[in-house]
Amino acid sequence: MTTSLIVALGLILWSLNVKFPEGGAEWEQIVLRFVHIVAGFIWLGLGYFFNLCRGPFLKSIEGPNMTKSISILLPKAQWWMRWASVATWLAGFRYFMILAKTDAANAGSPALAWKWIVIWFVSWLIAFGIIMALLRPTEGILNNGWVLAVLIGFIVVATSWLQLSLLGDPAANNHMLCISVGGGLGTIMFFGMWGIVWRCNKRVIAAAKANAEQGTPMPPETQRLLRQAFLAGRMLFWLSFPMLFFMAASAHFPFLSGK
């Protein structure tokens, strides 16, 4: 059966006069895109499930049922989410490097690529550090989701504007500029996944397992950790939409250009 399928596919490709590109650059880029898309589907898909389905479901249950959900479902889902985020980010970062090097070479200054990459990474890392500090409190005005949304939105818009201003070289095209913003949002999501969501949830999972196996009561800090993980997860959920827009616009909606 397998041999017949391979032969059939071979005949189809031959009849269509398919010609694969020569050289390794095109192959590397298609592999990067494929890994980036598949891993991104897993990461974002699980994130959407948590925000749209699991969150409302947990509000309707309590006690042993909630503990069981946390100790059984959460570890597996979080494993897939965090490692899918690694594959997504690494593939996307490598692809961004290729675009930066191409634009820098077209500008006649290959070293410019590393300047762009350093500016890009440091800018978004600082933005994440500020956002992480905002998400730590669980009391006062910063515990209000709407207040956090306004503050985080301002940080994201300001960082995006800074990116486009500093990377807006005449040689920089729409492709690289869009990914500098979309990839930056993805970077905040990646660090948020590991630095906030998983850091909080792994402690909640440990407490839930101890509760289920030994009857150990859930520690008082559990609610604080769940709240922080919830706020971070909701932030990642909303950031995914502009991130996906800029990723799609990089090749299909040319609206950005260098100075």
Please report, in tens digits, the pLDDT of each residue of the chain (259 residues total). Answer: 678 788 777 777 666 676 777 777 888 999 999 999 999 999 999 999 988 887 666 666 665 666 767 777 888 899 999 999 999 999 999 999 999 998 888 888 888 899 999 999 999 999 999 999 998 867 788 888 899 999 999 999 999 999 888 887 777 788 889 999 999 999 999 999 999 999 998 998 888 878 767 767 777 788 888 889 889 999 999 999 999 999 999 888 888 876 5
Inter-residue contact 98 to 175 (CB < 8 Å)? no
> What amino acid occupies position 219?
P
Inter-residue contact 212 to 68 (CB < 8 Å)? yes
Structure-block tokens of residue 80: 């897939």
* Pairwise CA distance, residues 193 & 234, whole Å: 11
Angle of helix 145-166 relative to helix 222-252, nearest 10 degrees, comes to 40
* Pairwise CA distance, residues 95 & 93, whole Å: 5
Nearest one of 71, 81, 90 to 32, comparing CA atoms: 90
Output the furthest CA–CA distance in the chain (Å, rounded): 67
pTM: 0.87
How many helices (DSSP H) and strands (DSSP E) are in the chain? Answer: 9, 0
Measure CA of the first residue to CA of the last residue in the chain; give whole Å: 57
